[in-house]
Amino acid sequence: METRELRYFMAVAEELNFGRAATRLGIAQPPLSRAIQQLERRLGVDLLTRTSRSVALTEAGAVLLREGRAALDAVDAAARRARRAAKTDARLVLVAKAGASAELLAKILDGYAAEPGAIELEVELCGVGEQEPRLRDGRADVALLHRPFDSLSGFDVEELTTESQVVLLPAGHPMSTRASLTMAEVAALDLPLPRWPLRDGTYPPGPGPEVRDPAQILQLVVLGRAIVVLPDSVRSQIGGGVVAVPVPDAPLVTTVIAWPPQSRSRALATLIRVAAGL
Amino acid sequence: METRELRYFMAVAEELNFGRAATRLGIAQPPLSRAIQQLERRLGVDLLTRTSRSVALTEAGAVLLREGRAALDAVDAAARRARRAAKTDARLVLVAKAGASAELLAKILDGYAAEPGAIELEVELCGVGEQEPRLRDGRADVALLHRPFDSLSGFDVEELTTESQVVLLPAGHPMSTRASLTMAEVAALDLPLPRWPLRDGTYPPGPGPEVRDPAQILQLVVLGRAIVVLPDSVRSQIGGGVVAVPVPDAPLVTTVIAWPPQSRSRALATLIRVAAGL
DNA sequence: CATGACCCATACCCTACGGGTATCGGTCAC
DNA sequence: GTGACCGATACCCGTAGGGTATGGGTCATG
């Protein structure tokens, strides 16, 4: 199977319309129809059920859509990493959620910089859910992820720290002087929970504000427009105006360092060793 | 990057000789040379340093060789899984090492068969190191692997059980009546340790016999031709003639259930849930 | 119920790319 | 110095992949 065929199929499978898919691919519709037919012949499997009005995925097509995305990402990642390996200014790109695990990140950076033979370590802070694709397609080399929030699927990981969670309240809030709160009490406050982006970048429907990273949400808490439960380490991020109250029965959050399998360069191995040893 | 180009590059990178690589690919040498040149132009990177006598990998080439293999496996796996998804006789293929975790495996099979909607579960018993490639390229859906022996890199896993290890001795052996032995004592017995295959299927050099799976080795132990330390669960496999003596300071072995990322079908999810719940 | 919009497949043509053969040019060994 | 070896180049050919025109089936609309 060629990547061209796979890309064509992915476009059709996503659009469920040959015309639109062809436009997206920058080709005409007939060659696209033929390419898909040929792919089906070669695989010996029907991927799409076409009527003269619509296109739908078969069982096999759904599988190929899911697996194909991973395969194309792997091919892209291979190309991107090969290109990057040729650059003389070798560097490692680490992605983390803006505002999460700040001290841990600082410790990792300091610890790695102190290693002999350390190369430049570029830190990219991005929104929730943006790390995984970057790591998958080779734009980043390593990420700090948080279980159980982030999907660790397909990455190699090493556990770093485990923290309990706190609820953030505006300074004057009646509950803000409590020593701890339960999840039930938090829910009873009847403030909207923020909505985090889903895997595909869209937001689930609901009342809460749409947010992309932990940093963003602090403002909303100050304004009393949202309530949020976050890992304990956000304490270091909050200034005046916001109070953190422990929520003992919230799930524990584990910060992990994650990297793509099969890509353990010398520099990456060092970074992982440093991070795991902290 | 097309898979054809990648396959061509992999052949050259492995052979380090255009002529032999071309033969292996079933094409002539000149088109292969051109294809590689074109790939280098497209990536904007030198992958190989050629003299008129020899070919060597550049830094970027080494990266592409490593990453490319994973990418090609992913593409093959996507095709294979799509093909299998179309078969009506849907079934799940589980690979395990012959002779390892036998009771656990039996419990998983029984537990899964009792689930509503369970489909046929085919068990393949294979040698050490054969599971990973099968899982990677789509020939198998799920595997029982043993940490720290097997590489879990690139798979999603769920831990099942942790066991200590025992040393196997022939029944009449002077040490066979001991309650336990240390690793140092085992080493002092001066019997050859068996050699397990490496990732590429070859065996490391050394004096011990070449073995492929735990079952195979029992005979050698009876004959006094080898000594081996294995997870506690082999006890159920050994008949007369062999005695298992605990080795408390041997590393703990964790049996995990592993599956390829992005491929969590309904049946697979059920199987994992059943296994993890035992 | 007829007509048009929509959508995928087919027919047909053309170009460019992938592959083949012959040969060159450079390097090492004997 | 000569031959063996090996990758690159030159040149040719077939076909795979892309384009345009159009067919044919289905649904919506007046």
pLDDT in tens, A50-89: 987 889 999 899 999 999 998 999 999 999 999 988 887 7
Single out the residue in B24, B54, B84 at which a domain terminates.
B84
Instruction: Give chain A's contact residues with B (Cβ, < 8 Å).
Output: 1-4, 6, 43-47, 58-64, 66-71, 74-79, 81-83, 85-86, 152-154, 156, 261-263, 265
Which residues from B are below 8 Å from A63, CB to CB?
78, 81-82, 85, 263, 265
Quick check: bond before B148 cis, omega within 30? Answer: yes
> Are B76 and A267 in contact, with CB atoms under 8 Å apart?
no
pLDDT the model gives residue A40: 95
Q: Note whether B1 contacts A78, CB cutoff 8 Å.
A: yes
User: Do A141 and A264 fall into the same domain?
Assistant: yes
Residue showing tokens 């997206």: A24
B129: left (phi over 0), alpha (psi -120 to 50) or beta: left
Residues A233 and A193 occupy one common structural domain: yes
Residue A160 counted as domain residue: no
Give yes or no for residue A261 having a pLDDT over 90.
Answer: no
Q: For residue A242, tell me if it sits in a domain.
A: yes
Q: How many angstroms separate the CA of B14 from the C1' of D3?
A: 28
Whether residues A170 and A244 share a domain: the answer is yes
CB–CB of A9/A72 below 8 Å?
A: no
Provide the pLDDT for residue B38. Answer: 95
pLDDT at A57: 93
Q: Inspect the interface and report whether the beta carbons of B74 and A71 lie closer than 8 Å.
A: yes
Quickly give A210 CA vs D5 C1' distance in Å: 67
Give the chain A residue whose CA is nearest to the CA of B46: A86
Per-residue pLDDT of B135-158, as tens digits, reads 988 889 999 999 888 888 889 999
**Looking at chain A, how many residues does it have?**
278
Are A78 and B68 an interchain contact pair (Cβ–Cβ within 8 Å)? yes
Answer for the pair A220, A238: CB distance below 8 angstroms, yes or no. Answer: no
* Shared domain check, B79 and B143: no
Q: How far, in Å, is the CA of A29 from the C1' of nucleotide C8?
A: 9
Reported confidence tier of residue B210, pLDDT bands at 50, 70, 90: confident
Confidence of residue A130 (pLDDT cuts 50, 70, 90): confident
* Tens digits of residue pLDDT in A192-229: 888 888 776 778 887 778 887 777 788 788 888 888 89
Q: What is the mean pLDDT of residues B98-125?
A: 89
CA distance B273 to B20: 48
Q: In whole angstroms, how far apart are CA A165 and each of A157, A162, A223?
A: 22, 10, 21
**Domain shared by A56 and A133, yes or no:** no
Residues B74 and B11 in one domain: yes
**Who has greater pLDDT, B203 or B43?**
B43
Question: In the predicted model, is pLDDT for residue A90 greater than 90?
Answer: no
pLDDT value of position B236: 83
Residue A259 and residue A239 share a domain: no
Copy the structure tokens of residue B195: 């050699």
**Pairs of CB atoms within 8 A across A/B:** 139
A238: closest CA among A255, A209, A218?
A218
Does A219 map to a domain?
Answer: yes
* Segment B103-128 mean pLDDT: 90
Residue-wise pLDDT for A137-169, tens only, equals 888 999 999 988 888 888 999 999 999 999 988
**Of B30, B52, B84, which residue is a domain's last?**
B84
> Is residue A263 in some structural domain?
yes
Residues of chain B (28-57) having a beta carbon less than 7 angstroms from strand D: 29-30, 33-34, 36-37, 50, 52-55
* Confidence grade of residue A5 (pLDDT, cut at 50, 70, 90): very high
User: Is A70–B4 a contact, with Cβ atoms under 8 angstroms apart?
Assistant: no
Distance CA A31 to C1' C15 in A = 15
Predicted local distance difference test score (pLDDT) of residue A220: 81
User: Using CA atoms, how far apart are residues B75 and A72, in angstroms rounded to an integer?
Assistant: 7
Q: CB-CB: which of A45, A81, A265 is closest to B86? A: A45
Structure confidence by residue, pLDDT tens digits, A22-37? 999 999 999 999 999 9
3-state secondary structure chain A: CCHHHHHHHHHHHHHCCHHHHHHHHCCCHHHHHHHHHHHHHHHCCCCEEECCCCEEECHHHHHHHHHHHHHHHHHHHHHHHHHHHHCCCCEEEEEEECCCCHHHHHHHHHHHHCCCCCCEEEEEEECCCCHHHHHHCCCCCEEEEEECCCCCCCCEEEEEEEECEEEEEECCCHHHHCCCCCHHHHHHCCCCCCECCCCCCCCCCCCCCECCCHHHHHHHHHCCCCCEEEEHHHHHCCCCCEEEEEECCCCCEEEEEEECCCCCCHHHHHHHHHHHCC
How far apart are alpha carbons A260 and B155 in whole angstroms?
A: 11
pLDDT > 70 in chain A, percent: 99
Residues of A in contact with B85 (CB under 8 A): 45, 59-60, 62-64
Please report the pLDDT score of residue A164 as a whole number.
94
Contact criterion met (CB < 8 Å) for A77 and B64:
no
Count structural domains, chain B.
3
A158 inside domain: no
pLDDT digits 0-9 by tens, B21-39: 999 999 999 999 999 999 9
B211 and B182 in a single domain? The answer is yes
Asked whether the beta carbons of residue B261 and residue A70 sit closer than 8 angstroms, the reply is yes
Query: Which string of b and e fits A156-182 if b means at least 16 CB within 10 Å?
Result: bbeebbebebbbbbbeebebbeeeebe
Shared-domain flag, residues A104 and A131 = yes
The CA–C1' separation of A39 and D24, in angstroms, is 24
Contact B66 A263 (CB under 8 A): yes
A69 and A34 fall within a common domain: yes
* Distance (Å, whole) CA A258 – CA A166: 24
> Chain C positions under 7 Å from a protein CB?
6-12, 18-23, 25-28
The pLDDT value recorded for residue A45 is 92
Residue type (1 letter), B9: F
Q: Which nucleotide is nearest to A34 (CA to C1')?
A: C9
**Mean pLDDT score across all residues of chain B:** 88
What's the pLDDT at B8? 96
Last residue of one domain, picked from the residues B40, B69, B84 = B84
Q: How far apart are the first and last CA of chain A?
A: 45
Please tell me whether residues B222 and B199 are part of one structural domain.
Answer: yes
Nearest CA in chain B to A64: B82
pLDDT at A255: 94
Query: How many whole angstroms separate alpha carbon B237 and alpha carbon B217?
Result: 11
Residue pair A131/A231 in contact (Cβ under 8 Å)? The answer is: no
Same domain, B159 and B169: no
CATH of the domain at B241: 3.40.190.10
Give B233 to chain A, closest Cα distance, Å.
27
The whole domain housing B25 covers 3-84
In a domain, A261, yes or no: yes
Q: Assign B206 a pLDDT band (cuts: 50, 70, 90).
A: confident
Report CA(B47)–C1'(C22) in Å, whole number.
Answer: 28
